[in-house]
C-alpha cells in the first residue's frame, strides 16, 4: 500500500518517531504534531514501509503538507 | 408480468434477490409482498431477532437491476407498509438506475420512490445495503435513507466512469469513483463498509434490530465501570483513542457509523443499560479531537436521526475547540458547525453529556451543553470547562505582566497565574456554581449515573424527518 501522508491541520512538528525504511502497521504513529495545546499523532493508514519522512522536528506544517511517503 | 423470466439454472446466481433477502431475516420467516416477476424488484416481509421488518431488493439479473414502473411501485408499497406498521424497512441495492427503455415514465417512478422515502424519514428506520453498482436514481435511493451499508463490491455514483471519461476526460474505474474507500473515507455517503456481502447484510440486521426495538433502561442492573477511568492518559495534552471508552460505556460493542469519515468525532449506535442509545464522542486521536466542518455535520445528522427515531443520546466531551484555518472557514465551518447547534437545540430525546477531560470555547457549547438543553451534564474530576485552557488564557490575559517580569521569575509567575486562573475561571468549579455542570462524578459510577439520568427523563421523540445533512 503506497501513499503520501499529509497533514490534516496546521501544526508544529513535535517529534518524528519513525525513520525511512521502517516497517509499520496500520495505526502506528509516524510523527507527533502539536497544535491547539494537543499532541496529535500522525498515523499510518495501512501496513507498509516508510519511504520518506518529509518533516523535521520544529517544522511548521500547513494542512495538506507532505509528512511522509509510504510504500 | 407474473411469468418468471429466470431460468432454473440461474437459481444459484448471487444476484438473485431472494437469497439476498433471506440472509437478512431470521430463518424461515420471509414472506413475499410482491410477485417474483420481471419488475426488477422483489419485496418481502419477515422477522429480524423476532421483530417484524420489511425489505426490498433489486433483481440485478434483469437489465442490471434497472428501475422501472412496476419495480418502483413494489418499493413504494414496501415503504408505505412499513410506515403503516411502524417497522424498519431495508433496501438492498444493485441497480444501474432508471430503465432507459421506459423513458420519462421510469424517471417519474423513481421520483415516487424518493418521495416515499422522504415520507418515511424520521418515522421508521430506513437502512440501505449496497451490494453492487447503485447508479443514478439508484444512488439517491440509499442516500435518502438513514444508514447506508456498503459491501466490498458496492459502488455508488451519479454518473459512471464512461460518462465521466467522455465529459471531463478523467480516467477512473468504478471502485475509485464510488467504492467503499471514497465513500467511506472522503464523501461520507456510506456509513458502514464491510468486507463482503454476508457481513453487509449482517450489519443491516444488527442496525434494524437496534433501531427496530429499543428496549428499556434498567439502571438498577448497571454494574460499576472501573475500567472507564483507566483509559484516559494522565497528561492532559496527550492524545488517545476514544473508541475504547465508547466500548467500555456500552453494554456490548455497538455499530460505529462513518468510522473513517470525519474521524475526529465518533458516532456509534449501541445498547446502554439495556436500551438502544446513540453515543457521540470527540476523538482526541484525530485532529486533537477538534470539531471541524465535516465532524460537526456528521454529528448533526446523527443527532437528528436519533432524535427523529426516539433514540436517547450520550455525549462524551473532550474538545479543545474548533479547528482554526482558512480551509475550515472556506469549507463552511460556520454554516456546517451551525447544524450541530441546531440539531442539539431541537432534540427532545433524553440526552446526557459527560465532560471527561476538557470542553473549551464554542466547541463546549456545541457538544450538548446545558444551554442547548442537555438533560444532565456530568463531569469527571479534574476536567475543565472554560473558554480556553488556563495556560493559553494566562498568556493572553497577562501578556504584559509576564513580559514585564524578570526572565528568571517569569516561569514561576506564569505557574502562579495559571493556578489562579484555574481557581477563578478554569477547572469545573465555576461551571458547577452556575449550574451548567450538574455534578462531578467518579468514572467508576459513570455508567450508573448516566443510566439513572436517561431513565428519569421523559421519553420523547422529535417530530421531524432525517434530511441527509
What is the distance, to the nearest Å, from the Cα of residue B448 to the centroid of all Cα atoms in its chain?
A: 25
According to CATH, the topology of domain A3-70 is OB fold (Dihydrolipoamide Acetyltransferase, E2P) (2.40.50)
> For the segment B105-127, what is each residue's pLDDT rounded down to a tens digit?
999 999 999 999 999 999 999 99
CB B132 within 8 A of CB B155: yes
pLDDT band at B3 (very low <50, low <70, confident <90, very high): very low
Domain ranges of chain A: 3-70
**Helix (H/G/I), strand (E/B), else coil: B290:** coil
CB A9 within 8 A of CB B287: yes
Q: CB under 8 Å to B105, separation ≥6 — which residues?
A: B68, B69
Of residues B125, B53, B234, B75, the one with CA closest to residue B466: B125
Minimal CA separation from B238 to chain A, in Å: 5
Q: What is the mean pLDDT of residues B188-214?
A: 97
Chain B residues in contact with A43 by the CB 8 A cut-off are 285
Q: CB under 8 Å to B314, separation ≥6 — which residues?
A: B249, B272, B277, B278, B279, B280, B351, B352, B354, B450, B454
Instruction: Verify whether the Cβ–Cβ distance A39 to B323 is below 8 Å.
Output: no
What torsion, rounded to 10 degrees, do the Cα atoms B91, B92, B97, B103 define?
Answer: -60
pLDDT band at B234 (very low <50, low <70, confident <90, very high): confident
Of residues B148, B105, B102, B154, the one with CA closest to residue B126: B148
pLDDT band at B11 (very low <50, low <70, confident <90, very high): low
Question: Given the DSSP bridges, would you call strands B313-319 and B275-282 parallel, antiparallel or unpaired?
Answer: parallel
Considering only CB atoms, A9 lies closest to which of B239, B287, B391, namely: B287
What is the distance, to the nearest Å, from the Cα of residue A12 to the centroid of all Cα atoms in its chain?
A: 12
Instruction: Verify whether the Cβ–Cβ distance A35 to B389 is below 8 Å.
Output: no
Of residues B162, B83, B76, the one with CA closest to residue B121: B83
Instruction: Check pLDDT > 70 for residue B9.
Output: no
Of residues B328, B363, B232, the one with CA closest to residue B285: B232
% of chain A residues with pLDDT over 70: 97
Residues of chain B contacting A, Cβ within 8 Å: 237-239, 284-290, 320-321, 323-325, 327, 389, 391-392
Instruction: Verify whether the Cβ–Cβ distance B288 to A40 is below 8 Å.
Output: yes
Q: What is the DSSP string of B196-241?
A: SHHHHHHHHHHHHHHHH------GGGPPP-TTGGGSS-SSTT----
Instruction: Verify whether the Cβ–Cβ distance A10 to B325 is below 8 Å.
Output: yes
The Cα–Cα gap between B333 and B127 comes to 28
Q: What is the mean pLDDT of residues B22-26?
A: 97
Total-model pTM? 0.92
**Helix (H/G/I), strand (E/B), else coil: B336:** helix
- Chain B's closest residue to A63, CA to CA, is B327
Instruction: Check pLDDT > 90 for residue B450.
Output: yes
Catalytic machinery residues of B = 136-137, 362-363
Instruction: Check pLDDT > 80 for residue B8.
Output: no
Amino acid at each position: 500500500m503506497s501513499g503520501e501522508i499529509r497533514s490534516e491541520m496546521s501544526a508544529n512538528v513535535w517529534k518524528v518517531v519513525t525513520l525511512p525504511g521502517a516497517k509499520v502497521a496500520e495505526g502506528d504513529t509516524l510523527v507527533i504534531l502539536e497544535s491547539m495545546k494537543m499532541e496529535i499523532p500522525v498515523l499510518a493508514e495501512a501496513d507498509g514501509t516508510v519511504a520518506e519522512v518529509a518533516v523535521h522536528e520544529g517544522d511548521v506544517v500547513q494542512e495538506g503538507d507532505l509528512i511522509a511517503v509510504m510504500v | 408480468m407474473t411469468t418468471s423470466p429466470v431460468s432454473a439454472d440461474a437459481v444459484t446466481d448471487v444476484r438473485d434477490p431472494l437469497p439476498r433477502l433471506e440472509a437478512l431475516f431470521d430463518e424461515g420467516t420471509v414472506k413475499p409482498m410482491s410477485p417474483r416477476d420481471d419488475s426488477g424488484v422483489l419485496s418481502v416481509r419477515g422477522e429480524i431477532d423476532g421483530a417484524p421488518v420489511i425489505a426490498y431488493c433489486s433483481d440485478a439479473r434483469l437489465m442490471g437491476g434497472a428501475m422501472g414502473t412496476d419495480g418502483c411501485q413494489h418499493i413504494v408499497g414496501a415503504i408505505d407498509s412499513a410506515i403503516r406498521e411502524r417497522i424498519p424497512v431495508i433496501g438492498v441495492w444493485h441497480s444501474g438506475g432508471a430503465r432507459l427503455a421506459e423513458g420519462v415514465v421510469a424517471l417519474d417512478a423513481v421520483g415516487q420512490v424518493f418521495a416515499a422515502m422522504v415520507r418515511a424519514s424520521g418515522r421508521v428506520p430506513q437502512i440501505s445495503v449496497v451490494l453492487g453498482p447503485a447508479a443514478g436514481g439508484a444512488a439517491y435511493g440509499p442516500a435518502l435513507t438513514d444508514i447506508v451499508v456498503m459491501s466490498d463490491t458496492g459502488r455508488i455514483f451519479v454518473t459512471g466512469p464512461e460518462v465521466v471519461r467522455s465529459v471531463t476526460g478523467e480516467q477512473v474505474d468504478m471502485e475509485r469513483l464510488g467504492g467503499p474507500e471514497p465513500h467511506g473515507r472522503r464523501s461520507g455517503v456510506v456509513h458502514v463498509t464491510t468486507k463482503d456481502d454476508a457481513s453487509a447484510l449482517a450489519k443491516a440486521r444488527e442496525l434494524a434490530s437496534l433501531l427496530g426495538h429499543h428496549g428499556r433502561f434498567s439502571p438498577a442492573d448497571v454494574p460499576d465501570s472501573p475500567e472507564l477511568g483507566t483509559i484516559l492518559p494522565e497528561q492532559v495534552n496527550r492524545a488517545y483513542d476514544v473508541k475504547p471508552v465508547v466500548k467500555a460505556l456500552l453494554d456490548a460493542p455497538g455499530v460505529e457509523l462513518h468510522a473513517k469519515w470525519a474521524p475526529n468525532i465518533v458516532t456509534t449506535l449501541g445498547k446502554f443499560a439495556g436500551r438502544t442509545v446513540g453515543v457521540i464522542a470527540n476523538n482526541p486521536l484525530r485532529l486533537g479531537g477538534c470539531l471541524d466542518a465535516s465532524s460537526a455535520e456528521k454529528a448533526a445528522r446523527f443527532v437528528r436521526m436519533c432524535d427523529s427515531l426516539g433514540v436517547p443520546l450520550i455525549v462524551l466531551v473532550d474538545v479543545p475547540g474548533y479547528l482554526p484555518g482558512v480551509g475550515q472557514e472556506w469549507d463552511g465551518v460556520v454554516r456546517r458547525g451551525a447544524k450541530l447547534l441546531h440539531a442539539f437545540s431541537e432534540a427532545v430525546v433524553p440526552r446526557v453529556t459527560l465532560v471527561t477531560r476538557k470542553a473549551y470555547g464554542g466547541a463546549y457549547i456545541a457538544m450538548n451543553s446545558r444551554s442547548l438543553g442537555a438533560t444532565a451534564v456530568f463531569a469527571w474530576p479534574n476536567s475543565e470547562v472554560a473558554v480556553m485552557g488556563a495556560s493559553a488564557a494566562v498568556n493572553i490575559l497577562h501578556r504584559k505582566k509576564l513580559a514585564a517580569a524578570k526572565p528568571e521569575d517569569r516561569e514561576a509567575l506564569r505557574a502562579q497565574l495559571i493556578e489562579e486562573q484555574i481557581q477563578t475561571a478554569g477547572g469545573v468549579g465555576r461551571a458547577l456554581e452556575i449550574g451548567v455542570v450538574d455534578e462531578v462524578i467518579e468514572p467508576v459510577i459513570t455508567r450508573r449515573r448516566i443510566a439513572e439520568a436517561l431513565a428519569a427523563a421523559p421519553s420523547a421523540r422529535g417530530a421531524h424527518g432525517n434530511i441527509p445533512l
